């Protein structure tokens, strides 16, 4: 018999806020975290803005020794896990850690560390090489550090499928609990791509905004004047837990994960498939898996990446799945405020979905000023909206055509 799976803890690092309270306040007020880049000199680049997490202090969450030997993306995920475990009221010393797992996602892992260490190696040769680079740079460093730090024995995996990595990790974690393999999973995603060689490659790809004069106005999903995505960094962790386990320990339950779906376009390494068939199918699978009718979806926390092609395809995907009802469902993109943090994007969308259910507040798509005839749905422009929210759909349509959709619902009274 399939078991119910609920969310009991949240940990958040985003360019517009660290921690649940600051993040949600910024998201509902429409506050952008996009700014001029300070981590390196981007003055000669066509794009000079990003979603930096400028006030992150690793030593608030770990010792100096720990912080020195792990890359920034792993620092993020450790910090988010600390926040999520505290938020969930979990005392891991009283839990059977063989029934707890770790499933996290990352698109690029420790590539930033690798680039930094290579510069040191070029200057100092083999004596300057850092032997810890072997374990600090691979994507699996993220899940490894969490399992070691929290003495977790029930399995530890990293998923890497580009922008959809974090939401994919959550989907797999959900399955493990639903099928009885585990009782609790720390799951989410993290990426820290703001290193010069990585940023330069994104610039050369030609899909980033060059609205450098007014950074906070740069990310404008579904707006006619959008000119590209804004690269950012960030992370999110949720505590997924078997329903009865959560009830027994009297945990606060944010929402219930009802189901998910995953497909691949098999089309292009960067471009979305114009017909959106597989993206739509991932949503249909999630709906069927959840036992929820399309007419029961109250809010869509959209991918909304702010590129010309992707936003149109996404709009058409929603119409393809929801038909006439598509025009009645509010949907919004938090990327208008936080940019595109790669694997963290789907996790932060899911966290937004959960908080929308809890507060009955739908956050806005900011910078929505000019209507695009090809994007003609209700994008909750510029201001939050109060609305009863019971069932939320969120999804990521990542590079390489990796489509992941997930549905969360308000928990029935216990």
| Tens-digit pLDDT string for the chain (414 aa) | 789 999 999 999 999 999 999 999 999 999 999 999 999 999 999 999 999 999 999 999 999 989 988 999 999 999 999 999 999 999 999 999 999 999 999 999 999 988 888 888 888 898 888 888 888 888 899 999 999 999 999 999 999 999 999 999 999 999 999 999 999 999 999 999 999 999 999 999 999 999 999 999 999 999 999 999 999 999 999 999 999 999 999 999 999 999 999 999 999 988 889 999 999 999 999 999 999 999 999 999 999 999 999 999 999 999 999 999 999 999 999 999 999 999 999 999 999 999 999 999 999 999 999 999 999 999 999 999 999 999 999 999 998 899 999 999 999 766
Co-location of 263 and 244 in the same domain: no
CA 340 centroid distance within chain: 9
- Minimal CA–CA distance to 366: which of 159, 216, 179? 216
Coil/strand/helix, residue 411: coil
Q: What is the dihedral of CA 151, 154, 159, 163, to 10 degrees?
A: -70
Please give the residue range of the domain that contains residue 393: 259-409
pTM value surpassing 0.85? yes
Last residue of a domain, one of 229, 248, 267: 248
For 38, residues 6+ apart whose C-beta sits below 8 A from its C-beta are 52, 54
| 254 assigned to some structural domain | no
CATH of the domain at 289: 3.40.47.10
Give the tokens for residue 61: 């969450």
Q: State how many domains the chain has.
A: 2
| 414 assigned to some structural domain | no
| 127 assigned to some structural domain | yes
Give the tokens for residue 358: 């809890």
Q: What is the dihedral of CA 89, 6, 149, 107, to 10 degrees?
A: -140
**Read out DSSP for 125-170?**
GGGG--TTHHHHSSTTHHHHHHHHHTT--S-EEEE--GGGHHHHHH
| 289 assigned to some structural domain | yes
Question: For tokens 């390489």, what's the residue?
Answer: 400
Co-location of 276 and 208 in the same domain: no
Co-location of 207 and 76 in the same domain: yes
Give the tokens for residue 64: 């100096």
């Amino acid at each position: 018999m399939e078991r119910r799976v609920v969310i009991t803890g949240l940990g958040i690092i985003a360019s517009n806020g660290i921690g649940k309270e600051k993040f949600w306040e910024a998201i509902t007020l429409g506050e952008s975290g996009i700014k001029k880049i300070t981590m390196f000199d981007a003055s000669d680049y066509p794009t000079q803005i990003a979603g930096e997490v400028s006030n992150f202090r690793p030593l608030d969450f770990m010792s100096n020794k720990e912080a020195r030997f792990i890359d920034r993306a792993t620092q993020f995920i450790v910090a988010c896990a600390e926040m999520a475990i505290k938020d969930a009221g979990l005392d891991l010393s009283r839990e059977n850690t063989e029934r707890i797992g770790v499933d996290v996602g990352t698109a690029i892992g420790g590539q930033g560390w690798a680039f930094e260490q290579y510069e040191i190696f070029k200057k100092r040769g083999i004596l300057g090489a850092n032997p810890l680079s072997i374990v600090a740079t691979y994507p699996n460093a993220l899940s490894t550090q969490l399992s070691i730090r929290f003495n977790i024995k029930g399995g530890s995996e990293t998923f890497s499928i580009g922008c959809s990595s974090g939401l994919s990790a959550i989907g797999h974690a959900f399955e493990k609990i639903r099928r009885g393999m585990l009782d609790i999973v720390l799951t989410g995603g993290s990426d820290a791509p703001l290193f010069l060689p990585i940023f330069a490659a994104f610039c050369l790809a030609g899909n980033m905004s060059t609205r450098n004069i007014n950074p906070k106005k740069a990310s404008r999903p579904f707006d006619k004047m959008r000119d590209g995505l804004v690269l950012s960094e960030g992370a999110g962790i949720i505590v997924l837990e078997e329903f009865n386990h959560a009830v027994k320990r009297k945990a606060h339950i944010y929402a219930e994960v009802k189901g998910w779906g995953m497909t691949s376009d098999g089309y292009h390494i960067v471009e979305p498939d114009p017909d959106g068939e597989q993206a739509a199918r991932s949503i249909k699978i999630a709906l069927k898996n959840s036992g929820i009718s399309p007419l029961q979806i109250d809010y869509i926390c959209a991918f909304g990446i702010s590129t010309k092609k992707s936003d149109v395809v996404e709009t058409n995907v929603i119409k393809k799945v929801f038909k006439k009802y598509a025009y009645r469902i509010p949907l919004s993109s938090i990327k208008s405020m936080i940019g595109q943090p790669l694997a963290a994007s789907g996790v932060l969308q899911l966290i937004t979905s959960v908080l929308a259910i809890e507060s009955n507040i739908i956050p806005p798509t900011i910078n929505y000023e000019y209507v695009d005839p090809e994007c003609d749905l209700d994008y909750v422009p510029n201001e939050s909206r109060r609305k009863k929210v019971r069932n939320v759909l969120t999804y990521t349509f990542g590079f390489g055509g990796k489509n992941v959709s997930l549905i969360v619902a308000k928990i029935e009274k216990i």
